[in-house]
Amino acid sequence: MLDPWTADAFDYDKIVKKFGIKNFQEELLKIKNPNRLMRRGVILGHRDFNKITNLINKNEPFAVVTGMMPSGQMHIGHKMVVDQLIWYQENGGRLSLPIADLEAYAARGISFEKGKELAINEYLTNYIALGLNIDHDVNIYLQSQNQILQDLSFRASMKTNFSEMKAIYGFTPSTNLAHLTAPISQVADILIPQVEEYGGPINTVVPVGIDQDPHLRLTRDITNKLHEELGFLTPSSTYHRFITGLTGGKMSSSKPKTAIYLNEETKNAVKKLKSAKTGGRESLQEQKELGGKPDECVIFETLVYHLMDDDEKLKEIKEECLNGTLLCGDCKNRTCQLLEEFLDDLHEKQIESREIAQTIFD
């Protein structure tokens, strides 16, 4: 069972095998101009992404859906989704971005008012500051405010039953019913670009963390059942790995020591990254002899996921780390410098993007 609300440790290989997710590596070769997270194996799996590859390569339209659950502060790990959205936008995708305030209420007790406030000041402000163009074919809505979504959820709920929900999510007789309705809202989020009001059936990709796969299995099944009636096409999806927290476990919004927040003071964030867990050895001597372990290093991961665009430079750092010529002190300092530049720049952009975000629901 993969529970999207509590999962925190992932055995990626096992999940991929168990649920029949396809490896992304083979698909990668067919994509003309793959995104950094694709090239670097951060996106590890997919369902039916070949349909999307073909459309991108032929310059034909497709939709992209990924939601944000407004439940806390946005951290640097959340940036991954935004980077993918920007890439899809550049490659002809029509974006639909639900704000899952129903889910935030059901799963985290966040009121609708608070959810909306967080969506604007945390999520949308940062999405825009990170480079997403919300004026270009993007549909942003609050689940609780969207009548088309409510109607579609209702229709979707008629195509599943308790046994299926139980098989996917492991519910028990005492499960709160909002844990049944919230996933159905997500099914509707994923299908909404295909309703007549938004242009009718279209191939869709859902880029998400691997914890969201249960929702996609449910959506795909419901879509097949709705196909005859509404002509909906089965959505594709991609799955990315999660970013490691600064202390080695999961990066979590509710645990400040593990996370770099996008709104956090640069000085503070740099201080945290400076004391993050590395793949360095016990002593300088040992490091020079054996080299470091970049694949177990939070600093290196930060470069891979976020701060180092240049593949060649990244490769050099990895080699120098492995052969012991690069020492953790220097490597950390350089990475912290990049983080500082990134955050300072982002904070400056947030000022204008907050103003834009505040007008979205007017």
Q: Are 350 and 126 in contact (CB under 8 A)?
A: yes
CB nearer to ligand TRP: pick between 106 and 326: 106
- Nearest distance in Å: CB 111, ligand TRP: 17
70 binds ligand SF4 (CB under 6 A): no
Local structure of residue 198 (DSSP, 8 states): G
**Nearest CA-CA partner of 302 in 331, 329, 335:** 335
Q: Are 207 and 221 in contact (CB under 8 A)?
A: no
Site for ligand TRP in 153-192 (CB under 6 A): 186, 189-190
Binding mask 295-324 for ligand SF4 (x = CB under 6 A): --x-xx--------------------x---
158 contacts: CB under 8 Å, gap ≥ 6: none
CB nearer to ligand TRP: pick between 114 and 277: 114
**Nearest CA-CA partner of 297 in 312, 281, 315:** 281
65 binds, among ligand SF4, ligand TRP, none (CB under 5 to 8 A by kind): ligand TRP
CB nearer to ligand TRP: pick between 67 and 292: 67
Please state, in angstroms and rounded to a whole number, the distance separating the CA atoms of residues 239 and 305. Answer: 14
77 binds ligand TRP (CB under 6 A): no
**Chain position whose Cβ is nearest to ligand TRP:** 67
Binding mask 89-108 for ligand TRP (x = CB under 6 A): ---------x-x--x-----
Binding mask 2-41 for ligand SF4 (x = CB under 6 A): ----------------------------------------
CA distances from 52 to 6, 81, 204 (A): 30, 17, 8
Q: Tokens 């929702």: give the residue.
A: 215
Please select the residue that binds ligand SF4; options are 46, 94, 217, 332, rule is CB under 6 A: 332
Please state, in angstroms and rounded to a whole number, the distance separating the CA atoms of residues 246 and 104. Answer: 25
